[in-house]
A and B are shown apart, each in its own frame.
Chain A
Amino acid sequence: MSSIKSIGAYLPQLRLERSAIGQALGWLTTGTGRGLRTLAFWDEDSVTMAVAAARNLPAKDLQAIETLTLATTTPPFAEPQNAALTHAALRLPRYCCTQDATGTPRATLLALHAALENGRNALIVAADKPVAKAGSAAESRAGDAGAAVLAGAGDGLLNYLAGASLSAPFIHRSRATGATFPLDWEDRWIREEGYLKLLPEAIKTALERAGLAPDAINHLILPCAMAGAAASVVRAAGLTNARPAPDLNDQVGDTGTAHALLMLCAVAPQIAPGETVVLAQFGQGATALVFAAGEGLQQLGGLKEQIDGGRVETCYAKLLAFSDQLDWDRGLRGRYIVPESQSTAYRNAEAIFGFVASRDPHTGQVIFPPTAGGGLEPWPLADRGGTVATMTSDLLAFSRHPPNCYGLVDFNGGGRLMMDFTDPDAPDLAPGDPVRFVFRVKDIDAHSGYRRYFWKAVRDAAPA
């Protein structure tokens, strides 16, 4: 017996009104839609959103993790391994099998399937930040988000009964290596030949392996951006007593590899102990995982707080600028090289990725960046939070979302650092405000695309 032990999710703060796409491009294209879609801030990508989702796991014993999988169709790097960066930011055990899983939104459930079958302590993080052509249906349907799941042996939130992963060269979307934009095939073909044939087949196999009849299933969690497709799958698979989980399309959008877990997170409070759940995903085949709910799902917070906590954005050009689809004027101040300095980065990896200071246990003095020396202890800062000592909103400094906000932050427990403040509400911060820390993109080289990561401060809405 193995199970899902914990589920976490992360939604970026910005919610783009789909009508804003229509206002900008409605005269030219039709793919605008309704409702809101999440929009990652300029300094968020699949690595940072995966890290954020893992940090949002309500129960976690990260020191027991044996494997880490980062599932994403939008890895920031072809090389190095993105999971290694995620591993460093989360400060997971040094001995840990890390891997990137990519190529399909189903990569997440493929990794989860494997983990549940082998029963090892696995952390699977998933995040997508899809880029699609301006005005396309894919752009409008998509959302940016991260999700995380912890799996392992024994009972948990969702006890694993069986699963099936079916592989088929069904290419509903393609994007050549190095290409920026995907090419989507016709919706009707995807629905009729894809969703309605491959998913019922995988679900049927999984149920047979679980020894359950189709009418024994209470919940189907299946991401699909096509309206009504999940309900059609319920019928096609004969899940006569199953409720399809809300698709979140009007509040979040289709977040690719993150979406099955995101939907699970949202619906979890409505799953009673003992109820049965099929968690499924489509993409070059189909995966269906069958669970019996254990205790604790109804006590989870779900996704409501994050959905309600968004900040509505009506400027469509931000999506274009954040995804480098707009060749905007950065000015001469924006024309600088972001050096890789890999030997410096590795030497300081604990500080830069892990946000670890040093502390003198005798004097209590905390110093960042940490100093090496006898008797000093490592002092992790990421979860400590702090207070703004002073700050500014700088309109002169180069920023991908001016003004550039930064200031001195006093860490709870000692120490101080001048830090970047991020998220769209950063200019509202003031001396004395509590902040917490998030792992974000520090800067991106405009020519090579190389990006660096570091920790930034955001307003702590609910300080401990």
Chain B
Amino acid sequence: MATGLKDKVAILSMGCSRFGERWDMGQEDLMREAFYEALQRAGIGAEDIGAAWYSAHYDDIGAGKSGVPMAMALSLPGIGVTRVENFCAGGTEAFRGAVMAVASGAVDIALAMGAEKLKDTGFAGLPPASRGTLAPMYMPTHTNPGNFAQLARAYEAVHGLSRGDLKHAMAHTSMKSHANAAKNEKAHLRRPITIEQALQAPIVADPLGLFDCCPVSDGAACALLTTPEIARSLLNIDPVLVKAAQLVTSNGWEAQQSEWNGAYVHTTRLAARAAYAEAGINDPRRQISMTELHDCFSITELVTLEDLGLADSGTAWRAMLDGRFDGDGVQPCQIDGGLKCFGHPVGASGLRMLYEAWLQLTGQAGTRQLRLPSLALTHNLGGAPAQNVSSVTIVGL
């Protein structure tokens, strides 16, 4: 009988590169920046690592296929490096692999790294991902803004929102993340914006405007995981423990059948339910101190708040406008700026969220430190609302 992952694995240390347009760095350099920070914070060396998981979505740009680029970049000590790819949820997938390796007793210390070098394409936004030979014969030429714009239009239609209310709630979502990122020296976008700026921005994919979309960034983030016992012996503080790590993958129900109304993310609801059960959480609105959500687009954040049970269905837009999720709100969301402003190096984002959770839970978040957080939830989504990989991870003291 499976007993789950709760409290079996500790975060020994984490590292994160500065995100942004890192014209001077390749994917290997970004990984090294994050890795050395994590080693230094942990006080261990690369030779102490027993196995590694590596998330990188694109292989035609960046560093190529397999675990080899990471093993070479970090001079890992002749250990196995598993490359994982699960759309934008790959970072959490790498974390999950490393967590399971430690929980199983296979290794004492495992590394999870996510990295992406996106600014070598020559254009803004993500490059189209390969989809095999059949799908391009029938699937539209689509973009991620276009995929999530459909979520916004369905949310608007299902809940009877006016375009004005929708746009204002989305603008507030982005404005809040820009304000938070101003305090984050590693963030890609650090300038505050006004609601009016967001409302007046050019449309990218109707109804999403420029400020509803996260940037495409270069960056890397990593975690060193170990057993609670080893963590306690190496650290002078109570370690942050993994409470839940759940991931759900679409099976075609949303994209091929007509029951899903398009105004929520089905897999997130399933992953949240499983994660709350694994972590023993029954009142997430009270128990979760902070959230780092996959706000690839402002509408994604709003819908995710509902899917996680942090707002009732059809009400997140109003709670957002009321300031509930602001930096100084009841339940801060994206205190580091989120994908929207910290940035979105695809394969790294899941680990970047956990980096912020770890900083906050260990009191290392500097000027943006929250008061006594105890449980943090990260939500990492890959793909499109209708066809995706969604993960919910909970870590805490």
Binding site for B on A (CB under 8 A): 331-333, 336, 339, 341, 344-345, 348, 351-352, 365-369, 389-399, 403-404, 406-408, 410-411, 414-420, 427, 430-432, 442-443, 452, 454-455
Residues of A within 8 A of B149 (CB): 392-394
Residues of A within 8 A of B154 (CB): 389-390, 431
Q: Is the CB of A417 within 8 A of B256?
A: yes
Cα distance A415–B145 when bound, in Å? 24
| Nearest CB of A to B385, in Å | 9
Q: Is the CB of B141 within 8 A of A397?
A: yes
| Nearest CB of A to B104, in Å | 35
Q: Which 7 residue pairs are nearest across A and B when measured between Cβ atoms?
A: A394-B146, A406-B140, A392-B149, A390-B154, A341-B133, A344-B133, A394-B205
Can you report 30 A-B residue pairs in the complex whose CB atoms are below 8 A from each other? A332-B121, A333-B125, A341-B134, A344-B133, A345-B137, A351-B138, A365-B257, A366-B256, A390-B150, A390-B153, A390-B262, A391-B150, A392-B149, A392-B206, A394-B149, A394-B206, A395-B204, A396-B145, A397-B205, A399-B141, A404-B141, A407-B153, A408-B150, A408-B255, A415-B258, A416-B255, A418-B140, A418-B142, A430-B157, A442-B137
Binding site for A on B (CB under 8 A): 121-123, 125, 128, 133-134, 136-143, 145-147, 149-151, 153-154, 157, 203-206, 252, 255-258, 261-262, 386
Q: Is the CB of A394 within 8 A of B145?
A: yes
Q: Is the CB of A393 within 8 A of B128?
A: no
Cα distance A414–B258 when bound, in Å? 7
State which of B147, B153, B203 has its C-beta within 8 Å of the C-beta of A431: B153
Q: Is the CB of B256 within 8 A of A393?
A: no
Q: Is the CB of A392 within 8 A of B146?
A: yes
Cα distance A345–B133 when bound, in Å? 9
Which residue, of B121, B128, B255, B256, has the highest number of chain A Cβ atoms within 10 A? B256
Residues of A within 8 A of B204 (CB): 394-396
Q: Is the CB of A432 within 8 A of B157?
A: yes
Cα distance A394–B143 when bound, in Å? 8
Q: A397 with B146: in contact, given A331-B123, A406-B140 (CB under 8 Å)?
A: yes
Residues of A within 8 A of B128 (CB): 333, 336
Q: Is the CB of A443 within 8 A of B133?
A: no
Residues of B within 8 A of A442 (CB): 137-138
Cα distance A431–B261 when bound, in Å? 10
Residues of A within 8 A of B261 (CB): 389
Cα distance A455–B154 when bound, in Å? 23
Cα distance A421–B184 when bound, in Å? 42
Q: Is the CB of B142 within 8 A of A406?
A: yes
Nearest opposing residue in chain A for B263, CB measure: A390
Q: Is the CB of B121 within 8 A of A392?
A: no
Residues of A within 8 A of B122 (CB): 332
Residues of A within 8 A of B151 (CB): 390
Residues of B within 8 A of A455 (CB): 138
Q: Is the CB of A403 within 8 A of B206?
A: yes
Which residue, of B138, B153, B204, has the highest number of chain A Cβ atoms within 10 A? B138
Nearest opposing residue in chain A for B121, CB measure: A332
State which of B134, B138, B141, B142 has its C-beta within 8 Å of the C-beta of A417: B138
| Nearest CB of B to A359, in Å | 12
State which of B133, B136, B140, B256 has its C-beta within 8 Å of the C-beta of A416: B256
